[in-house]
Amino acid sequence: MLKISRRTVLQGMGAAVGLPFLEAMLPLRLNASVAAGKDPIRMGFVMFPNGANMEAWTPAATGPLALSETLAPLKNVKDHILVLSGLMHDKASAHGDGPGDHARANAVFLTGAHPVKTEGKDIRAGVSIDQFAAQQIGEETRIPSMELGLEKGGNSGNCDSGYSCAYTSSISWRSPTAPMGKEVNPRAVFEKIFGDPGNANAKRHAQARLKEQKSVLDAVSSEAKSLKSKLGTADKDKLDDYLEGVRAIEKQIQADERNAGKMPIPPANFSVPDKPPKDTQEHCRIMMDLMILAFQTNSTRIVSFSLANEGSNRTFPNLGISEGHHTISHHAKNKDKQDQIKKIDRFYAEQLAWMLEKMAKVKEGGGTTLLDNVMIVYGSANGDGDRHNHDNLPFLIAGGGGKSIRSGQHVKLQQRVPVCNLFLSMMDRMGVKADQFGDSTGRLAV
């Protein structure tokens, strides 16, 4: 029987297409889960801005999960959801620094570290959990970590009451003074996953594909055909389904580029298109598709994804909302504004549900799915957008973490618990060693 490595990729003409889990793959001793012959555990962090309508967000009862109005779209995957009430990010509070809760919330979301109030070059926050983990296990994948977003950001200027724009736009930090830039362009993400960084001509080949509107799969067709001839029937079907999915996403990216008015033939100095889809839902879902592909191919095991910069004033015409999100988050208990916030919260929950349902359809080893083997943190470091509180945050964790998480529950913590306690527990499952992280006070049993 054919045996191939879990890290096998199809290569050719500047492309490197990773493979999904196949029965022919041998387990590799990469982390705790893979060493036990299981698929690797992956973790993702999805941040939404400006807090939430907490009354509509929070499930009414603890115990077995009865979804709230906002979280109702998650009904098809609710057995894979753990809602945690009572988590806090104390370091997002002022602590004598005055206004700037949006900037602090964003900077603290994955770091648990109080940012220095400055709009200059002397920014300082903390290392984020995604980068802390990547520093230990990132070498086990082609891409140590991926940082995605729907809104561009910058590292200079004043974006919130004297806080640098680096704080409002970056949730991922490589070091206390080095925020990670996020990628908002689907084409660039696609090429990062499927391009071949070891090939000096990879960029030229990518340009040729764009020029001729060809597929990345064309570059690896001979290797794919050769591999399929050696696989069993089940693996052949799985590989066909996967490659069809890759092509569908690629075709969507090509269509978006044409619809955005881009010339199909790039200039000689072309790098990547810089205009993502204008429709927020379309943009969000194609980025989520790419996140799934990155996990499915084991291209990376760590992804952070900002649905918007903190303090974002995006409008939602598709929801009948013409006023900016940040503006209406200061609702002063105005019912109409609170209802609009509720609509936005539910819209974001719908996108999360869409992604999780797709993960549940990706088959992996031992009868598991990708959703069984991920941990997706979804939440905000602001509670109620009007109060700018940073306790009792809207937080949930989706996925099974290798079937180790007590999902299908709403847990109300008896005392305010640092979010970083949750992060420590997640890193344990990833095989990342840490005695303390951010402002953690221990591990959270989840």
Measured between alpha carbons, how far is residue 217 from residues 16, 225, 251, 330 in Å? 9, 11, 11, 48
Residue 13, domain member (yes or no) = no
User: Can you tell me whether residue 132 is helix, strand or coil?
Assistant: helix
Specify the DSSP class assigned to residue 379.
Answer: E
Residue 313 falls inside a structural domain = yes
| Segment (H or E) for 421 | helix 419-430
DSSP letter, residue 285: H
As given in the structure block, the two tokens for residue 40 are: 């690797």
Q: Which one-letter amino acid corresponds to residue 80? A: H
- Whether residue 246 is contained in a domain is answered as no
* Helix or strand (DSSP H, E) at 342: helix 335-359
Query: Looking at the 3D structure of the chain, how many domains does it have?
Result: 1
pTM for the whole thing? 0.83
Could you tell me if residue 73 is inside a domain? yes
Residue 270 belongs to a domain: no
Residue 415 lies in a domain: yes
Q: Look up the domain containing 70 and give its range.
A: 31-184+281-430
> At 341, which CATH number?
3.40.720.10
For 172-255, list the strands marked E by DSSP.
173-175, 178-179
| pLDDT reported for residue 222 | 74
Residue 249 placed within a domain = no
Tens digit of each residue's pLDDT (9 = 90 or more) over 343-376: 999 999 999 999 999 999 999 988 999 999 999 9
**What DSSP state is assigned to residue 113?**
-
Strand runs labelled E in 329-442: 374-379, 395-398, 409-418
Interacting residues of 180 by C-beta distance below 8 A, sequence separation 6+: 128, 131, 145, 147, 170, 172, 173, 174, 304
- Please give the Cα distance from 160 to 301 (Å, whole number): 32
Asked if the structure places residue 20 within a domain, the reply is no
Cβ atoms 84, 71 nearer than 8 A: no
In this prediction, residue 2 carries a pLDDT of 59
Give residues with Cβ within 8 angstroms of 72, minimum separation 6: 346, 349
Contacts of 336 (CB under 8 A, 6+ apart): none
Q: Give the residues of the chain that fall short of pLDDT 50.
A: 1, 26-37, 262-274
- Cα of 382 vs its chain's centroid, Å: 18
Q: Which residue in 152, 158, 151, 147 sits closest to 180, CA to CA?
A: 147
